[in-house]
Amino acid sequence: MIAIYARQSIERPDSVSIDAQIEQCRRLAQEDAQTYSDVGYSGKNTKRPEFERMIQDIKEGKITAVVSYRLDRISRNIIDFANLLSLFEKYGVKYMSATEQFDTSTPMGRAMIYIVMVFAQLERETISTRISDNYRYRSAFGLFMGGNTPFGYDRKRIPLDGKKVSVLTPNEQAPVLQRIFRMFTSHSSMVSICHELNREGIKTAKGNLWTNHALRRVLENISPCRADERLYDYLSACGYNLANGLEDFDGEHGMCLFFKNKNRNQETDPEEQTAVVGIHPPILSSEEYIAAQQILASHHASPGKRSQRTFLTGLVQCQECGHSFGIKFTQRGDRHYAYFHCRGRESRGVCENNKFIPAEELESGILDLCIRHLSKVDIKQTPSEPEDHYRVSSAQAQQIRLQINNLVDNIGKGNSVVDGLLTKKITALQTQLDDLNQKTRVQKPRPVISQATLDWLKNQLSEFDKLELPQKRDAIQRMIKTVWIDKNGTIKIEYLF
């Protein structure tokens, strides 16, 4: 089978669309081909969902050739591309470019590919450097550099030195932000604050329900903090690069912090970040902000690492609200315990699922069910058997359930007419929720699984106790799409084949 791969990082008038890339590749392939396309992903690395799916299919022997519109659709990193060519050679896969004449079966063809890749990577690095230099120049003036608008502010365009620039202006959520900091510095827990905000119908800046993660981001954001002498001393002691002298910390402006994250999963050290006095008005005092940071530092316990103790990470979800089941750790004396529980209930307070399932019990049960499932898999029947693929539109369903709960709480607080109207509204919302659940139940053909993969999985599960955690997770995630748990504790596994 021939694979067609297309990628488009951002949609611009001068860029070649995904559809146009695929159409050009089909002319070269001259036969039916499997299409893989990633929209919104850069070519600087290979962390792309459809690309990774194509690589997995190559390793399973399903693909004999790969066609892309141009080399840089595959990758702009010469090391990644070199590794990819080695992979192609290992599995007997030929690469073809629809607009460039390359033949990977000859030494000259491979040499030409490497030359082109050198220039593609040079172009990417040049663009990246130019953007970074411009970013640093503009950040020195304390301007808002884009991204998510902080909670409590709106973005406004104003003229500055003959150009239109973005600045932050406080909005109607500013008092809520002050209240959040007062509650947190008064030692209210993050969970209780989230529950209170969600019950009152107060949304995040993106219009979502509050979670511990969303609340932490708001508490850590320095933008609303008053730039005064106390904050200057605090930032200096923490090791931040200060773009302004003490005289600029006049107490009249908020703050900006630049170069905060290397990537989504890795924080940047303070000495690599630059703090700049902004041109926007502050909302919080420096005392409130610093007190909150000290409490957060005392709470910081790398929450993501503990969840990595289970091979079910990211697979378990609540049937009632669609949110994930996370692990809660407790200790009694010298013994430690771990339980799976619904994060929709724990962090948002919007779900009725109050089940706490011991982690060892759930893991053991899932393993037994997987072994039983593998024993029933028939390679010949796998491609044609349909599966009941259940998807939950968690955000929309969650909003409806929250509205129903709020309406139920208000029944009995008014007269009979008001109660009748509330009951009518609740009935309409419940009908809407039932329709949503029905629409998200679709029939989906099961993917093909090779005999080699099936044998490998059986072997891994037979020696499961001897495997390291990453190996266990890899085996289980090749079998399971989702583990659903309802409020009665009933477990339903959605398998990948």
pLDDT digits (tens, 9 = 90+) for 2-44: 999 998 876 666 678 888 888 888 888 877 788 999 888 877 7
Q: Is the pLDDT of residue 189 over 50?
A: yes
| CATH class for the region spanning 2-131 | alpha beta
- Say yes or no to pLDDT of 457 above 60: yes
For residue 490, what is the DSSP state? -
Distance CA 354, CA 357 (A): 10
What is the b/e burial string over 229-250, where b = at least 16 CB atoms within 10 angstroms of the residue's CB?
A: ebbbebbeeeebeebbeeeebe
Is residue 443's pLDDT more than 60?
A: no
Sheet holding 274-277, edge to edge: 241-242, 274-277, 255-258
Q: How far is it, in rounded angstroms, from Cα 267 to Cα 260?
A: 7
Q: What is the DSSP-derived secondary structure letter of residue 284? A: B
> Residue 75's pLDDT is what?
77
Q: Looking at the predicted structure, is the pLDDT value of residue 243 above 70?
A: yes
**Averaged pLDDT score across all residues of the chain:** 77
Q: Which residue has the higher pLDDT, 358 or 259?
A: 358
- β-pair partners for 35: 4
* Token reading at 174: 């500013």
Whether 194 contacts 215, CB under 8 Å: yes
- Does the pLDDT value for residue 476 go beyond 50? yes
Task: Return residue ranges of the chain for CATH 3.40.50.1390.
Answer: 2-131
* Paired tokens of 238: 């923490």
pTM: 0.43
Question: With 70 as the cut, is the pLDDT of residue 193 above it?
Answer: yes
Mean pLDDT, residues 85-103 taken together? 81
Q: What angle, 0 to 180 degrees and rounded to 10, lies between the N-to-C axes of helices 190-199 and 174-185?
A: 150
The boundaries of every CATH 3.90.1750 domain in the chain are 153-299
The arithmetic mean of pLDDT across residues 187-192, rounded, is 83
Place of tokens 């790969």: 66
Check residue 398 and give its pLDDT.
60
Please give the backbone phi and psi of residue 190, each rounded to the nearest 5 degrees, phi first.
Answer: -65, -35
Q: Is the pLDDT of residue 392 over 60?
A: no
Query: Which has more confidence, 299 or 179?
Result: 179
Q: Indicate the CATH number for domain 153-299.
A: 3.90.1750
Percent of the chain with pLDDT strictly greater than 70: 69
Instruction: Please tell me the least confidently modeled range out of 55-59, 127-131, 382-386, 405-409.
Output: 382-386
- What residue ranges in 294-354 does DSSP mark as E strands? 316-318, 325-332, 335-342
Alpha helices in 300-330 (DSSP H): 303-306
Residue pLDDT, tens place only, 280-325: 899 999 999 998 988 887 765 444 444 457 888 888 888 888 888 8
